[in-house]
Structure formats: C-alpha cells, structure tokens
Chain A
Amino acid sequence: MKKILPILLFILAYLLIQSLILLRVLNPYWQQIIQFAGLMAISALGLNLIYGYTGQFSLGHAAFYGIGAYTSALVTKSYPHGGLPVFIASLIAAVIVVAIVAFLIGMPILRLKSDYLGIATLGFGIIIKVLFDNADAVIPSLGGSRGMVGIPKYTNLTITFILFFIAIIVIRNFVYSSMGRACISVREDEIAAESIGINTTKYKTIGFVLGSVFAGVAGVLYAHLYTFLHPSNIDFLKSIDVLLIVVLGGLGSISGTIIAALGWTFLLEGLRVILPAEILDWRFVIYPLLLIMVMIMRPRGLWGGVEFNFLRPKEYGRPATDK
C-alpha cells in the first residue's frame, strides 16, 4: 500500500490537471506554467544531487540545461515532421551529449573544492553561453544571438509528468543505494570516505554527470515547450535560480526540492496575477524578501533533512524492534 499510494496520487494529480484543461479552467498560459514548473523541478533535482548530496558547489547548471536544449532542438528541427520517435531520439542524444560534456569537464574541475569549484563551473557556464551566442557561425540553424526558432512543439503535460516521475524515482533509488551513500560520504568528509575505501573522485564524477543529465532533460523539455531558444535562457542567472530552489527547499531533500521548485514557479507567476499592473515589478522584491526570511528562520532550508515517507525506500534487513 505504501508503495502504490504515491503513484496513485501522482496519477490523480495528472488526471485532475487534464480534466481542468478539458473544462477550460486552465488556459494554455497556465498549462505552460505547470509544465515549466515540472521541468524546473527535474533540473533542481539534478542540482540537489550535485550540491545537496555529493556536496559539489556548481554554478554551471544552466550550461548543461542549455546543452541539452540545443542538442535536442537541433535534432528535432532537422527532422521537422518526425513525430514522437524523433523527439525521443533527440532526448537520448541530449542525454548522451550532456553526459559526455559533464564527464569531460568534471574530470579536471572536480578536484577543486567549494568556492573554487563554484568559480570554475561559473566560468564553464559563461563559455557555453558565449559558444551558443556565436554558434550560428558554425551551424546556422542554431541561431546564435538571434535565437533559435522553428523548434517543433513536443512537450506536453503527459511527457512532462512521465519524465518528472522517472526523475523522482531515479534520484530516490540512487540516493538510497551504495553509490548514493558513497556520494553522501564525499559531502560529509572526503578523507574519511577515502579511509573506508571509497574512490571519492569516481563518485564525485558520477554525481556530477547524473545531476547534469537531469538538467539536460529539463532543457529538452524547455526547448520543445517554448519552441524558441535564446542564449540568454541559459546564462548564469538561470543557474542561480536553480541554486535558490535547491537551497530553499533544503540541501539533500528530494521532497524539499520538488516543493520549492513548484512553489517558486507558481509564486513568481501567482504574484503576476495578484499584484496590480503598476507594481508588478515589485515581485522581484517580494520574492527575495521571502528568501531572506526563510534563510533566517530555517537556515537548513524549508525541508532540510526531512523527507516524505514514500521517498524513503524500505530498509531491508533491519531487525524488528519492539517499541
């Protein structure tokens, strides 16, 4: 029962949104926001794996998001009437490209620690943005600084929900495995981790690559949701957005990341509805203020160290205790 309930809830949420669309309660704009919230959650789950669980401070998350988006868009744009198979192929291509890039960039820079790693990943993010700014010189259809147009629209509610669900399961299963624990030990104390036979370099790389792949998948959804890509969509401020979500939700909490990602998206858009037009721009004052308050009152994030029950898999082998 414990296993099925969350899946049922997930399907129920999906059906609810679908029926609201059918009943014309949710206009296309809000449908788009819902899907955007979902893809932000996927991306944030990835950064949580890198920063929250493995403890590697990365400011280059948007770069991987961008690489995923551009790679898949290039594939689907090249085969404009391919339908779903082409979209899936583009998703796989994006995952592979992101994984390779993350591996190659991770090898040299994951030796660095905390702030220094942050600066290095920031540099990487800027390089990638500049690369896409000028990409049209090599591949004209990438659009360069004029933006990439004509990407087919494949992302829909169903695809977003399925990928979101897979992302949650993957990260949950990974974290509660021997490999996930190895990543966590790297965060806790690298020297101690080595002393019990854990190859810290290997697990830093695994965490970094897997987390970056999540960003890539989110990028694929983004590209085929808005059908337009611009290098400004992947600059380092976008990395900061994801970082905010992860820290706000609580480092090392899957539940917190999901809630914060959904909350952050709906808060920004909700304020747009609630606030009168003349003070609309004040939402960028209101939400940082909320952030400051949360950080003062709950320094470990809203759900730091807390996890929903269904996101904790059964622990096998523990003897029954009589409490």
Chain B
Amino acid sequence: MAVLLQINDLTKYFGGLSAVVGLTMDVDEGELTGLIGPNGAGKTTVFNLITGLYPIDGGDIKYGGRTIIGLKPYQIAQRGISRTFQNIRLFGNLTVLENVKIAYHMHVNYGLGSALVHNTKYQVQEKKLVQKAWELLTVFNLENRADEIAGNLPYGQQRKLEIVRALATEPKLLLLDEPAAGMNLQETEQLKQLIHFIRERFGLTIFLIEHQMRVVMTICERVTVMDFGKKIAEGAPCDIQNDVKVCEAYLGKK
C-alpha cells in the first residue's frame, strides 16, 4: 500500500514544554489508523501541525509525497486533508444545509461578476452544489434537519454534521479528532458503524484520535500510541493492548 501521509521526526515546543518530540509515523492509503494516548500526550497538537494551524519546530510532514510544511491551513485543506475538531466547530448560527453548502466552496469556480449578477453560470453551479449537499445530508439521515440551526442540534448530530461538512470538501484523508468524546455507549456504537460506512462509501483514508480504548481497538487497523509527546508503541490493536509501555502510560507502573 502506498503511504499517503508521512510524518518524520516531527517536533513542536510550546515555550519550554515539548508537546511533540521526534514523532515518526505513516498513514497508508485506504487504512484506518488510530492515534491514542493519555490526556495531554500531544495528539491534538499532531493534528494541528498536520493541518497547518501551528508552525512546526522540526521534522517534516509529507502528504502524497510532497511536503506540506509552510502551507496555510486552507491550502492544506485544498490538497485534500479535511478534519473535525475535538470541541465541535460548526457554523453554529447557520442552518445544517448552509454548513454543508459552505464546505463545497472550493468546488465552485464562478467569479465575483457571476456572484453579483446571479447569471446562468451561477445558477448551474449553485444548483449542482445544493443537490450534492442534499444528497450528502440524505446519506447521513440529516436531510429532515436541513433547515434547522446547526447549533440547536443534539450533540451527537452536531458531531455527525461536522463529519458531513468535512466530507463535503471531498477529501482524500479525513482526520477525526476524538469523534467519540462525550458520547454514551450506544452513540459510540453508532459512531463506529458510521466510520465504517464512511470508509466503504467514500473510499477514504481515515486517521483518528481517540482515548476511548474500545473505539480504537475495534475499528482501527493500526494504532500509534503517544505519551508525553513521544511515540511509545505502534502496531495492530491486539498487540498494543498487551504492550507493557502502553499499560504503564495508561495505568502506571506496577
């Protein structure tokens, strides 16, 4: 399998705190990879570095063989990396449909002129865009919520909508930051099915952060474990579970 995302010796400091130290890992194309670790291990920082929110202090990130260091977050998104956030960042005052419509922004190519006069080019593209957005909402059973204000949706659906919005950009790599955070058992079960479904249907590579072990262990094919900014283990979920270092990180030394 080809490597889609290659993280090499990635390092990031916040003042004197080393958030990520020499992290090296790959995400293969089509694979479902997990990044786990106790709170404060630097998982979200890794995502923020991949998506260009923070400048890196050392190392390299290659996506599809090309470095993405120094690109702006929107340029990275345009290359095909889309993400969700740990603390949901929806456009809360807009409707569900509008949230998805905005995410199709990069696939619209009419200029300011067309926008100001609403000519045929505008109409054709807007029509296609709404149809696509609607289709996507239908796939996720959100179409009957299309005109609701996104911020008023129940928590689980907000998480779902955020994933839908990320998918609307038509990415190749989807980064999910703690998708199961704040969910109960039943919702977590549904989420696992949803992630499977997304992967089958859209043929995506998914890279997710999680600290609920039961999610990672059942759906990820490969898991990387971090603690205090460093990689401490890597491998198939069943191997990870029995790794001494991982148990220490989570439960402490015997």
Q: Is the CB of A196 within 8 A of B102?
A: yes
B116 at the interface (CB under 8 A from A): yes
CB distance from B47 to the nearest CB of A (A): 10
B98 at the interface (CB under 8 A from A): yes
Q: Contacting B78 at CB < 8 Å: which of A174, A185, A197, A318? A: A197
1/0 contact trace for B88-112 toward A, CB 8 Å? 0111111000100111111010101
B126 at the interface (CB under 8 A from A): yes
Q: Is the CB of B123 within 8 A of A173?
A: no
Q: Contacting A317 at CB < 8 Å: which of B53, B82, B90, B126? A: B126
In this complex, the interface size class of chain A, counting residues with CB under 8 Å from chain B, is: 20 to 34
Those of A191-216 within 8 Å (CB) of chain B = 191-200, 206
Q: Is the CB of B101 within 8 A of A181?
A: yes
Contacts of B22 in A (CB 8 A): none
Cα–Cα distance between A176 and B125 once the two chains are bound (Å) = 13
CB distance from A155 to the nearest CB of B (A): 24
Cα–Cα distance between A230 and B65 once the two chains are bound (Å) = 61
Cα–Cα distance between A189 and B85 once the two chains are bound (Å) = 12
Contacts of A173 in B (CB 8 A): 115-118
A29 at the interface (CB under 8 A from B): no
Residue of A173, A179, A181, A318 most packed against chain B (CB within 10 A): A181
Q: Is the CB of A177 within 8 A of B123?
A: no
Cα–Cα distance between A176 and B112 once the two chains are bound (Å) = 12
Measured CB to CB, the nearest residue on chain A to B100 is: A196
What 9 A-B pairs come out closest when comparing CB atoms? A317-B130, A177-B115, A317-B127, A197-B77, A316-B127, A194-B73, A188-B91, A192-B89, A178-B108
Residue of A174, A196, A206, A318 most packed against chain B (CB within 10 A): A196
Contacts of A278 in B (CB 8 A): none
CB distance from A18 to the nearest CB of B (A): 28
Contacts of B89 in A (CB 8 A): 189, 191-192, 195
Contacts of A196 in B (CB 8 A): 77, 82, 102-103, 105-106, 165-166, 168-169
Cα–Cα distance between A179 and B51 once the two chains are bound (Å) = 23
Cα–Cα distance between A194 and B98 once the two chains are bound (Å) = 16
Contacts of B128 in A (CB 8 A): 317
Q: Is the CB of A317 within 8 A of B129?
A: yes
Cα–Cα distance between A189 and B112 once the two chains are bound (Å) = 23
1/0 contact trace for B112-140 toward A, CB 8 Å? 10111110001101111111001000000
Residue of A188, A192, A199 most packed against chain B (CB within 10 A): A192
Q: Contacting B77 at CB < 8 Å: which of A174, A194, A318? A: A194
Cα–Cα distance between A248 and B219 once the two chains are bound (Å) = 52
Majority SS at the chain B contact face: helix
Q: Contacting B72 at CB < 8 Å: which of A177, A188, A199, A313? A: A199
Q: Is the CB of B126 within 8 A of A180?
A: no
1/0 contact trace for A142-183 toward B, CB 8 Å? 000000000000000000000000000010011011111110
Q: Is the CB of A189 within 8 A of B91?
A: yes
Residue of A177, A194, A195, A199 most packed against chain B (CB within 10 A): A195
In this complex, the interface size class of chain B, counting residues with CB under 8 Å from chain A, is: 35 or more
1/0 contact trace for B194-213 toward A, CB 8 Å? 00000000000000000000
Q: Is the CB of A177 within 8 A of B122?
A: yes
Which residues does B use to contact A, with CB under 8 Å? Answer: 51, 53, 72-74, 77-78, 82-83, 85, 89-94, 98, 101-106, 108, 110, 112, 114-118, 122-123, 125-131, 134, 165-166, 168-169
Having A179-B115, A188-B91, A206-B112, one finds 10 other A-B pairs with CB under 8 Å, namely A177-B116, A178-B115, A189-B89, A192-B85, A192-B89, A194-B77, A195-B51, A195-B82, A197-B77, A319-B131
A315 at the interface (CB under 8 A from B): yes
Which residues does A use to contact B, with CB under 8 Å? Answer: 170, 173-174, 176-182, 184-185, 188-189, 191-200, 206, 305, 313, 315-319
Cα–Cα distance between A193 and B92 once the two chains are bound (Å) = 12
Cα–Cα distance between A272 and B89 once the two chains are bound (Å) = 49
Question: Contacts A194-B72, A195-B83, A318-B134 hold; do A174 and B115 have CB atoms under 8 A apart?
Answer: yes
CB distance from B86 to the nearest CB of A (A): 12
Cα–Cα distance between A181 and B97 once the two chains are bound (Å) = 12
Cα–Cα distance between A317 and B126 once the two chains are bound (Å) = 7
Q: 30 A-B residue contacts at CB 8 Å?
A: A173-B117, A178-B110, A178-B125, A179-B115, A181-B101, A182-B102, A185-B91, A188-B92, A189-B89, A189-B90, A189-B91, A191-B53, A192-B90, A192-B91, A194-B53, A194-B73, A195-B77, A195-B82, A195-B89, A195-B166, A196-B77, A196-B168, A197-B105, A198-B105, A199-B72, A200-B74, A305-B93, A317-B131, A317-B134, A319-B134
Cα–Cα distance between A128 and B129 once the two chains are bound (Å) = 43
